[in-house]
A and B are shown apart, each in its own frame.
Chain A
Amino acid sequence: MPRYVARRLLWALALLVIVTAAVFAIFNLLPTADPAALRAGRAATPEEVEQTRRALGLDDPAAVRFVRYVAGVFTPLEGGPLNLGTSIDRNGEPVRAIILDRLPATAFLVAGAVVLWIAIAIPVGTVSALRRRSALDRTTMIATLALVSAPVFWLGLVALYLFADDVGVIGIFPGIGAYGAAGSVFAKAWALVLPWIVLAAATAALYARYVRSQMIDVMDEDYIRTARAKGLPERQVILGHGLRAAITPVITLLGLDVAVLLAGNAILTESVFNIPGVGRELVTGIERADFELVQGIVLFGALVIVVFNLLVDIAYAYLDPRVRYR
C-alpha cells in the first residue's frame, strides 16, 4: 500500500507539471488577443503598449516566461505558491484571491449536493436492484430517465417558479440571489436548498441507475450465495457483502464528478441562482476578456481534478485489495 500511494503521488506530480504546461501553452503560445494591449488600456499608444509589455516581462522568451509561471504556481518564488497571475479587469487583484473568495460558495453548493445525491441514489438504486422489474423499480427508473434528460437551467427555472419565495407558486424556499444576501451559515444553507436539489437531481438519477446495475451484477455473484449459505441475515448479505462490493466503482465516479463541479462545472446552477461561485466568475472573466482570470481558473480547475484523481486512486486501493497489491 505505501508503495502504491508513493507511485500514484509521483504520477500526480508529473501530471500537475504537464497540465500546467498545457494550460500555459494554450493561453500563451496559441494566438490570442495581445495581453499587453489589453493591460495598457483602450487609448494606449503603441509605445505605452510596448512599455507595458516590458514591465510585465511579456517580451521575454516563452521558455523564460514558462519557468517563471511554474515557479509562481508551485514554489514560494515569483509570488507563489499558487500565483495564478492578476486580473486584468480588476486593477491587478490577484487571481488567487478572487478564486479563494469564490470557492467557499462553490464548495458549499457542491458538498450539499453530493450528500443529497448519494443519500438518494444508494437507497433508490439498491431497492430497485433488489426488486427488479417491480412497479417500484420501473417507476423510479422512468423518473430517473426524465431527470437525467432534463437540462439543469430548465430544472432550475421550474424549481424557482414552483418554490421560490418571491416568484414561486408555493413560495417556501429562498430564490435567486439569496445566497449572496445571507449572513450566517444557516441562512446560507437555507438559501442553497433549491440549488442543491437542482444540482443533485440529474446526478442522483444517474447514480441511482449506476448503483442499480452494479448491485444487480453483484447480487448474482457466487460470493453472495456463499454469504447466504453461511446463514447470515439477508440484511447483512445485502449491505455487508452486496453493497460493499457494488459501491467501490461508484466511489471512483464520485471523486471525478466532485472535482469537475469544484473546477467550475457547477456554472449553470450558479448562474441560475446567482450564487457567487467559481463557475460564475469564469463566465464573468470570459465576458470581459479577462485573460489572466480565465487562465487562472482553468489551471485551478485542472489542479483540483488532478488532486481528486489522486484521492480517488488511493481510496480505490483502500477499498479494493486487488488494486492495492498490483
Chain B
Amino acid sequence: MTSGATSLLEVEGLRVDFETDDGLVTAVDGLSLRAERGRSLCLVGESGSGKSVAAMSILGLAGANARVSGQAWFEGRPLGALDPERVRRLRGTEIAMVFQDPLSALHPLYTVGSQIAEAIRAHRTVSRAAASRRATELLDVVGMPDPERRSSDYSHQLSGGMRQRALLAVAIANEPKLLIADEPTTALDVTTQARILALIAKLRDELGMAVILITHDLGVVAEIADDVAVMRAGRIVEQGPAATVLGTPRDPHTRRLLESTVRIDRPPRPRAEGVRARRDIPPRGRGSPLLEIDRLVKHFPVHAGILLEREVGVVRAVDGVSATIDAAEMLAVVGESGCGKSTLCRTILGLTHPTSGSVRLLGRELAGPATTPARALRREVQMVFQDPYASLNPRRTVAQTVADPIVIHGLASGAELRRRVAGLLERVGLESGYLKRFPHELSGGERQRVAIARALGPEPKLIVADEPVTALDAPIRAQVLALLDDLQRDLGVAYLLVAHDLGLVRHVADRIAVMYLGQIVEIGPAEAVCTTPIHPYTRALLAATPIPDPAARRDRSGLAGDEVPSPMAPPDACRFHTRCRLATSICRELAPELVDHGGGHLAACHHPLGDARQGRS
C-alpha cells in the first residue's frame, strides 16, 4: 500500500485520550490506516486494544470526554483531526456503521422499516411513502425473509440474524462509500455469522464500498479481509494483506493471537507447557456411567387467553434427550441458540424440573418430574456459567465466593476452610493475593477462574459448564479450556460442556453431542464427529466455522434455510428437513432414530453422510 490520494479514507497519527477522574487515559496511540474502495480492512485485537474506539472516532462518536488528534482525509478532502462537526456531515451518507449487538442497536419502540426510512429521510427529500417502499426494498437486498411483513415488525420480534440484516439495511440506506462494522457477528451463531459475513462481502462488491471490520476473531478475518491491521494497546503492531499477516506473521503478538485461535481443521496442537496427546478414550459401556440422561423432556407451556390463561402450546426446549457421561469424561453439547442446550444444563442442575424422563448420577435420581435430590447428591454436580461478570456477586470477595459452597455443604470451617480456599485458587492458577479482591478488580479470564474454583470447592464428580469461554478473548479462551482439561486429568472430574462453536470443543472434549431443536442428532467421539460427520447438520456447523487462513475461504452456508424453526412448532418427522439440502420425502414422513454407525458414533438421519464418504473413497 503506497501513498496516494486515491484512498477513500486515510488516517494519520490518530490519537484518542479519554478524560477520566483518574486523568487522561490513552485508548488509541498513533494509529494510521487507509481504507480502499471495494476492499475490506480488518482491525484485529483483544478487548481493550483500542480497535472500537478507533472506529468510533472515525465516525466522530468517541464520546464527549474523548480528546481526538491526528489527521484524516476522506476522498482526498481533509477532515482535520476527525473533527466531529465535519465527520457528522458524512455520517449516514458517506460513512455508515453496524454494531455488535443488533438487539440493543435497534430502537425497541420503532418498527424496523421506520428506522430504515428515517435514515433515508434524514439525508434526502422523499415522501414518507417512498421512503417506506425503499425500506422494504433494502430489507430484500440484505436478504431478510418476507421483507414486506418484517418491515412492520419491531426488533424484539426478529431473530439475531434478522436484526443484524435490518441494521445492515439501515447502514446501506444511502449507499455509503465506507461501511464500518464493529464485531458484527460476535453475538451470532456460527451458521448465522457465515451468512452475515457473506452478505457484507456481497454488499461491498455490489456497492463498491470500503469496509472496515473490527473483530477479535482471526477466523472472521480470514473469511472477509483483504487487508489486516493488528492492534495492541492502542497501536498497530502489524499490518498488510490478509494472506501475508495470517500466513507469515512477523510480530510476536500476531503469532500469539494466531496460536491461541483453535482451528477446526487441524488435529490438536501440543500445548506449550508440555506435550500431551489426547488421552486414550477408555472403552465405553464398561461398568455404569457417571451420569445417565434418560429420555429427558422439558416443555415450557405457553399461555394465552383473556382472563384465565389457558395453555395454548408448548415450547419443546428439550424433547427426548438420552446420553451418558463416564467418570472423568468431557461431553460437549453443541448447537445453535435455541436448540435447548442451556435448558438441558438447567434441568440437570435441578434448577428446573423436567416434564418427563430422568437424570441419574451414580444410579441415584438427580432430576425427575418430582425429584428433589438430597443435598449430598447435589454436591456432586457443580456449575460454571457463561458470563463471569454476572455470575459473581460484586459485593463478595474472591475468598468468600469460593468458600460459599464449601460452607453450604458443611465440608470445612475455620483454618481448614481458609487452607482449602487458598488451595483451590492455586489450583486454578491464581495467587493468594487474589483472596481479598472483589470481582470488579479482576479480568474476565480471572473471574472465570474464580467461578471454576468455586465449582471445584465441594469436590464434585461432574461440572456443568454453560458456554464458559464464550465471553472471553481468544487467548484467554484457550487458557481457560486448558485449565478445564488439566482439572479433568488431575482431579478426574467429568464435564458437560455447552458450546455453540464446534472448533472450540474439538480439542478438549472426549465426545461431542450435536443438538437441534431439543434433540440430539449426532453424538460420538470428538475427532470422529469433527472429521467424519454423519448428520448433514453437523457438516453445516463445521462448514460455518471460520478458519484463520484466507486460503481456506469458501462457501460456508451449508444450510438450505436461514432461520431455525420455532421450538413451539418444530417440523414434523425429521426436524432438520426444512433446512437440509439432502432432504427427501421420507424425511418429511418418518422421524429418524439415533443409529450407531460404529465406534460409538451415533446419528439420527435417513441420509447419513457416511455413505457418501464411502462412495468417494
The residues of A with any CB-CB pair to B shorter than 8 Å are: 3, 6-7, 10-11, 14, 221-223, 225-233, 236, 241, 244-245, 248, 319-322, 325
Contact = CB atoms under 8 A, between A and B. Distances in A.
A226 B123 contact: no
A232 B118 contact: yes
Given A7-B307, A322-B156, A222 B99 contact: yes
A322 B154 contact: yes
Contacts of B61: 225, 228-229
Contact of A222 (B89, B104, B156): B104
A85 B512 CA distance: 75
Interface string B546-569: 000000000000000000000000
Contacts of B154: 321-322, 325
B91 interface: yes
B88 interface: yes
A325 B157 CA distance: 9
Contact of A227 (B107, B109, B306): B107
27 contacts: A11-B307, A14-B307, A222-B99, A222-B104, A223-B104, A223-B107, A226-B97, A226-B105, A226-B106, A226-B167, A228-B61, A228-B91, A229-B96, A230-B118, A231-B90, A231-B123, A236-B122, A244-B109, A248-B109, A319-B109, A320-B109, A321-B108, A321-B109, A321-B154, A322-B154, A322-B156, A325-B156
A322 to B, nearest CB: 5
Interface string B98-115: 010100111111000001
Contact of B97 (A10, A14, A229): A229
Given A223-B104, A225-B99, A241-B107, A231 B157 contact: no
Contacts of B142: none
A3 B118 CA distance: 30
A248 B109 CA distance: 10
B54 to A, nearest CB: 15
Query: Is chain B's binding surface mostly helix, strand, loop or mixed?
Result: loop
B173 to A, nearest CB: 8
Given A223-B108, A229-B59, 11 more contacts: A225-B99, A226-B99, A226-B105, A226-B167, A229-B91, A231-B122, A232-B92, A248-B109, A320-B108, A320-B109, A321-B109
A325 B154 CA distance: 10
Interface centre among A225, A226, A229 (most CB of B within 10 A): A229
B170 interface: yes
B49 interface: no
Contact of B108 (A7, A10, A233, A322): A322
B100 to A, nearest CB: 8
B68 to A, nearest CB: 15
A11 B309 CA distance: 12
Nearest to B305: A7
A3 B306 contact: yes
A325 B122 CA distance: 29
Contacts of A227: 107
B93 interface: yes
Nearest to B97: A229
Contacts of A10: 306-307
Interface of B: 59, 61, 88-93, 96-97, 99, 101, 104-109, 115, 118-119, 122-123, 154, 156-157, 167, 170-171, 173, 305-307
Contact of A231 (B93, B108, B115, B305): B93
Contacts of A6: 306
A3 B306 CA distance: 7
Contacts of B167: 226
Contacts of B305: 7
Contacts of A231: 88-93, 119, 122-123
Contacts of B118: 230, 232
A244 B119 CA distance: 17
Nearest to A221: B104
Contacts of B92: 229-232
Contacts of B107: 223, 226-227, 241, 245
B91 A321 contact: no
A18 to B, nearest CB: 13
Contacts of A228: 59, 61, 91
Nearest to A242: B107
B110 to A, nearest CB: 8
A321 B161 CA distance: 20
Contacts of B306: 3, 6-7, 10
Contacts of B171: 229
A230 B106 contact: no
Nearest to B94: A231
Interface centre among A225, A231, A248, A320 (most CB of B within 10 A): A231
A222 B61 CA distance: 12
A73 B157 CA distance: 43
Interface centre among B101, B107, B119 (most CB of A within 10 A): B107
B471 to A, nearest CB: 17
A143 to B, nearest CB: 24
B14 to A, nearest CB: 18
Contacts of B96: 229-230
A241 B99 CA distance: 17
Contacts of A233: 122
B134 to A, nearest CB: 14
Nearest to A7: B306
Contacts of A244: 109
A11 B119 CA distance: 41
A221 B101 CA distance: 11
B188 to A, nearest CB: 15
Contact of A232 (B104, B108, B122): B122
A163 B109 CA distance: 45
A66 to B, nearest CB: 22
A300 to B, nearest CB: 25
Nearest to B93: A231
Contacts of A226: 97, 99, 105-107, 115, 167, 170
Contacts of A229: 59, 61, 91-92, 96-97, 171
Contact of A223 (B90, B106, B122, B157): B106
Contacts of A223: 104-108
A321 B115 CA distance: 15
Nearest to A228: B61
Contacts of B90: 231
A78 B97 CA distance: 68
A245 B108 contact: yes
B108 A230 contact: no
A163 to B, nearest CB: 41
A88 to B, nearest CB: 38
Nearest to B167: A226
A210 B91 CA distance: 32
Contacts of B108: 223, 245, 320-322
Nearest to A321: B154
B53 to A, nearest CB: 13
A226 B157 CA distance: 19
Contacts of B99: 222, 225-226
